[in-house]
Amino acid sequence: MLKIAFLTDHHVSLHTKNPFGIDTENRFLQLLEVIQQKKYDGIILGGDLCYLEGDAETYDWYLNHLASLDIPFNIISGNHDNSELLVKTFKDYSVNEDKELFYTKTWHDVPMIFLDTAKGFMGEKQYIWLENQIRQQDAKNIFIFMHHPPIPCGSKLMDSRYAFLQSEKFVSLCQRFPDMVFNIFAGHYHIERTVFHKNIICHITPSSYVNIDPEKEEFTLHPCQDNSYRELIWEGPDFSTNIVCIP
């Protein structure tokens, strides 16, 4: 069995005290405490580690806390991150010539693909690399982690103003592999939602900062502001995923 915790959009604000009344550092640390107690095999941070823009001090803050756990972790960049700065703190990673951070990892025989959508799109080199990675996979289910959902997901605010800019291109890449199912794990929308589109299943995980009402065209806080993360469980041929709320 493999159990991974996927957490996202912490927007840790070391220099802005409690935006929207939320202690962003404490909310992230609460998640880590539960994850440690529940003994996950790994942690994936889904991006938007920083409050508004990438910040070296904030990345160092994360490294200090993550390194103190006995759990391996992986990170992807969000639109409030700076991949180039991030890899200066997390030295196992590197960016390509387009300053994008993407890579693969096989965890207990489960191949996973990690993408960089920090700019709201992916460079051509990343697309070529992604297609090559998919061609090398022999499983039906492909597991991809990316900050932006690659398809519209029904949030009036996010779909109209902050959506991934290359949705058609991404979908057409997935459609070139009609026998595969693309299981995408994303954040960015600050809601919980699962969307099926062609051979894509997109699981969006809520933020540990604020969650956004998907019914409103202007930024409006969601009535539910629970602190939560997603767990992903592979057990033999089966896979399951769900949100875990922190009391």
Binding-site ranges for Fe ion (CB under 5 A): 9, 48
CA 152-155-157 angle, 5° bins: 110
A 10 A CB-CB count for 136 gives: 9
* Listed residue (65, 71, 62, 68) closest to 43, CA to CA: 71
Nearest alpha carbon to residue 147 among 185, 196, 101 = 185
Specify the residue, 87 or 191, whose C-beta has the smaller distance to Fe ion.
Answer: 191
Contact between 190 and 206 (Cβ < 8 Å): yes
Q: Which is nearer to Fe ion, 48 or 213 (CB)?
A: 48
Q: How far is the CB of 47 from Fe ion (least distance, A)?
A: 7
Give the residue among 99, 126, 120, 243 at the shortest CA–CA distance from 188.
120
Work out how close the CB of 190 gets to Fe ion at its nearest, in angstroms, rounded to a whole number. 6
CA geometry: angle 139, 47, 212, nearest 5 deg: 105
Question: Is the CB of 9 or the CB of 100 nearer to Fe ion?
Answer: 9
Least separation in angstroms between residue 111's CB and Fe ion is 27
Shorter beta-carbon distance to Fe ion: residue 42 or 46: 46
CA distances for 22 relative to 10, 12, 72, 107, 173, angstroms: 11, 10, 27, 34, 39
C-alpha span between 185 and 204 (Å, rounded) = 6
Least gap, CB of 11 to Fe ion (angstroms) = 6
Q: Which is nearer to Fe ion, 114 or 129 (CB)?
A: 114
**Least spacing, CB of residue 210 vs Fe ion, in Å:** 9
What are the structure tokens assigned to 127, written together?
Answer: 């697309």
Nearest approach in angstroms of CB 9 to Fe ion is 4
Q: Are strands 181-186 and 141-145 parallel, antiparallel or unpaired?
A: parallel
Beta carbon nearer to Fe ion, 20 or 196: 20
